[in-house]
Structures are given as C-alpha cells and as structure tokens.
Amino acid sequence: MPFKRKALAKEPAPKKVLKEEPKKDLDEEGEGKSGKTFELLRGFRDILPEDQGRWNLVRDTIRSIAESYSFDRIDLPILERSDLFQRTIGKGTDIVEKEMYVFTDPSNRSVALRPEATASAARAYISHGMIERPQPVKMWYLGPMFRHDRPQAGRYRQFYQAGFESFGVAEPIVDAQLIVIGHQIFKSLGLDVKVEINSIGTSECRAAYLTELVAYFRQHRNKLSEDDKRRLQKNPLRMLDSKEEVTRELLQSAPQILDWLDETSKEHFMKVLEFLEEVEVSYQLNPYLVRGLDYYSHTVFEFTLQEDVGDLSQSALGGGGRYDGLVEILGGRPTPACGFALGIERIVRALEAKGVNPPERPPALVFFAQLGDAARRVGLKLFEEFRQAGVSVAEAFGKNALKGQLEAANRMGVRLTLILGQKEVLDGTIIIRDMESGAQEIVDVKKVVGLVKKKLLHEEGVALQSQTPVVEA
C-alpha cells in the first residue's frame, strides 16, 4: 500500500550528471531520496473513510439548514488573483502577510490559494451582476481553504470552511438571522456553543475609538509585552483580545468600543440583540471580541465551544460579521453584506470528542459469495439488478473459498448471503442464506432479487436505500 520509494530509486540508474549538482531543494534532500514513503505535506491530511461519517453528518446538516433558510449554494474557485485577498482581508494582516499560498502561475500572474471565501463570494456577486437580483442575495459554500500557518490540532494548512453570505440588505435582522442559522447548525449537531457578539461600528467611529485606545495604552507602554507593543502599532484593535495578563488588566479601565459607536451603529447593534432575544438565542456580549480580517464593520460574532470536551484547544468553531464596505472595496456599487464561516475540522473534532461516530455509509444488506468464474459472471449482472432494486450488495472478490467469504459476510453484518457455485450456475439457481439463523433456501436465480427484497422488508422492515443519488456537499 504505502508507495515505496525504493521502487522508484531502482529505476534507470541516473546518468552521471555533470559536475554541477541540481539544486538541492527539499524534494532531493529533505525528504530523502532513499526514504521509503512519501509523507503528507505538512498541515495537509487525508480525511479517511472512517472519518467520513462525521464529515457527512456535518456537511449534510449544514446543507439542509442552508436550504431551509433558502440560501443558494455557490462554488467558488480555489485559486484567485492574489490581490483579491490583499485588498479585502488587509495587507497588514497575518493571513495575507505570511500565511497565504501565493505563487506565480505559468502565465506569470500572481495567484493565491484562497485563505477564505468571503472575498470570492463578493467578487462573484459583483462579476455576475447579482446586485440586479432580488436582495438579499443569500449564498452558502463549503470547501477547502489554505493558510500556511503552523499546524496544530484543529488547525491545518488545508482546512474546510462552510460559509453563509448575505448581500444587499443592511437591516439588522440579516445579522440576526445569520447568527440564528449558525446557532441552529450547532444545535442540530448536538454541540453546545456560546455565541459571543460585539460591534466594531463603522470605520469612522472605529478610527476615533482607536485613537483613544492607542493613547490609553501609550501611557502604559512600558508594561506591555513585545507582542502587544507591536500590536498597538500595527493593529491596535487587536489589543482587545490580547492574551497577556497585563494587557487584560489594563483593558478593564480602557475605553470601550461600544461607548464610541455612533448613533446608527448603536441602534443597529441594539436591534440585532433584540432580534436574538426574540428567537431566544442566548448570546454573550464580549466587548473585546474583534475579527482578524480588515473588512468587518458593525456586528461581529463568534461561535465558541461551550463545554470542555477533552483538551480541545481550538474552541472557536466559527465566526463572522457584517462587512458593508467589502463590495465597494472590490469595485462594486456600495452594498451592505453580512456573513459567517464555520471551521469544519474543528466541528468534526468536537463531535469526535463527544463520541459521535455515525457510520460512513449504511452497511450492505446482502453479501454475494461466489465460487468460480462462471458464478462471478452471473454475480456481476445480479449486482446491477440489486442496485436498481435499492438493495446494497457487498462481496469479497479477494477470497475464493466459501469459508472466507462467509467470514467476511459475517464481519460486515449483512442479513443475507447469496451463495452461487458451479452447481447453481448450471441449475439456474442460487442459495439464500439467512445469517442469523443459518437457514438456507435454494431459489430460482431469476427471482432472487424479488425474494431477497421481500425477505428484507419482512424482517423488521429494513429501510431500503433510497435510489436518489446522494448529492455531494
């Protein structure tokens, strides 16, 4: 299974290369050409079959809730022009400054693997003239994002986000509905999350506030850590969610952003809160909550894991807010908008910690045991008939002995096993074995599908799989 590199190394002996060695990059050196296997790129991972149950649960839940709130799915490209993100997320942010996968593509364009999708959604809104559609335009997405950060549990370089974006309406009810949707998703997943909320106002009142905040911290500059000194200069709003003990104490008597909101911002925020109370979504005001992306304004919120499940360090499962200026930044007509994103890995992880482990797929209902090639041929046709009848069939083509096949059937926990040997092929029959009782019945192979279906329905009325294709999330 693991791809052995040895095999590669044995290929045509490398011709004697002229003196100058090829540049020793990581491919040559770091991973070691004599090494045996290819390792995953750091921060990248496989989502294995055994994890798919949880992933499906999360994906399905998100999709069904999105649909029930009449959000439309949008799929956005993974690669975008890199300036899209520089313009929107903010040049000074870490995401853009040091975490973005930026490179020049073969046509000499600077492109980036998307670190998030809100900018793309806004771009799509503009480039497809969605402003001409009935507003709000509500869209959701789910897909991989890329940030070159140092990996940690619940933090990967390729990670999945689901997001909800609502464009075109400035009403506070939009903010509230988005929060409700996020809250609903966690609720139906059985996760206890806390909604933290704050308002960072418009860029104007925020600017005024920041002047004040910076002035305040300047007085205590000597007490600040190096990190915080840097923050104070680079992104003073970030002082609010500093983890430094000293800073947090200083914050107690620091100016509060809520006091600096203009009347409209204040009113907007109050209304959002009122709506939340109306639908009984409990929230927690957090005057220190800010967001890491530059485009936010007014309402900002975050969903954090309530319960202490194990030692889950990454407790923020999602977050978002209003970004009224974003569309304009990208050259569109001024358009209010609001949205949020969820970190799928973190949600899946929280479910895992809670012991939620749904099966990746429903187990097969019947097992097909075959003896000999003639039987295999017949079997291959039977599979299709069973599939059309909505009966899932498993087999173990790797095994020839009946014993081994029954063993496999048993392990899979099927209810019925069909046995087809030389004799049956000649007679046009097939054996149906009930795995529980061991009772066997020889039946006409032409009628087997109908009989099996009847048996399955009869015994406890097993739900046959629906034939509607499962839509990928």
Partner RNA sequence: GUGCCUAUGGUGUAACGGUUAGCACAUCAGUUUGUGGUACUGAUAGCGAGGGUUCGACUCCCUCUAGGCACCCCA
Binding mask 140-179 for RNA (x = CB under 7 A): -------x-xxxxxxxx--x-x------------------
Question: Nearest approach, Cβ of 21 to RNA (angstroms)?
Answer: 14
The reply to whether 346 sits near RNA by the rule CB under 7 A is yes
337 binds RNA (CB under 7 A): no
Residue 114 to residue 112: CA distance in whole angstroms:
6
Q: Which is nearer to RNA, 81 or 155 (CB)?
A: 155
**Is position 42 an interface residue for RNA (rule: CB under 7 A)?**
yes
Whether the Cβ atoms of residue 299 and residue 257 lie closer than 8 Å to each other: no
**Which residues make Cβ contacts (< 8 Å) with residue 65, sequence separation at least 6?**
181, 184, 185, 188
> What does the alpha-carbon distance between residue 139 and residue 125 come to, in Å, rounded to a whole number?
10
CA torsion sign for 375, 1, 412, 407 is positive
For RNA, the closer of residues 36 and 218 by Cβ is 36
Q: Could you count the other beta carbons within 10 Å of the beta carbon of residue 199? A: 28
Does 40 participate in binding RNA (rule CB under 7 A)?
yes
What are the start-end ranges of the E strands in 276-415? 283-285, 297-305, 316-322, 337-343, 366-370, 393-395
Q: Which is nearer to RNA, 324 or 424 (CB)?
A: 424
Residue 319 in contact with RNA, rule: CB under 7 A: yes
User: How many residues lie near RNA (CB under 7 A)?
Assistant: 81
Q: Cα(419)–Cα(441) distance, rounded to whole angstroms?
A: 10
Handedness of CA 59, 62, 67, 72 (dihedral sign): negative
CB of 375 to RNA, least distance (A): 9
Could you say which residues in the range 232-251 bind RNA, by CB under 7 A?
235, 238, 242-244
Element (H, E) at 195: strand 193-199
Q: Binding RNA by CB under 7 A: which of 329, 399, 451, 462?
A: 399
Q: Is 29 in the site for RNA (CB under 7 A)?
A: yes
For RNA, the binding residues in 177-236 under the rule CB under 7 A are 227, 231, 235
Q: Of residues 63, 87, 322, 433, which one binds RNA by CB under 7 A?
A: 433
Among residues 423, 424, 370, 433, the alpha carbon closest in space to that of 400 is found at: 370
DSSP string, 257-281: HHHH--HHHHHHHHHHHHHHHHTT-
Find the binding residues for RNA in span 361-390 (CB under 7 A). Answer: 371
Please identify, among the stretches 169-177, 190-198, 281-289, 341-349, the one whose residues bind RNA according to the rule CB under 7 A: 341-349
Verify binding: residue 72, RNA, rule CB under 7 A.
no
Identity of the residue, 51 or 107, whose beta carbon is nearer to RNA in the bound complex? 51
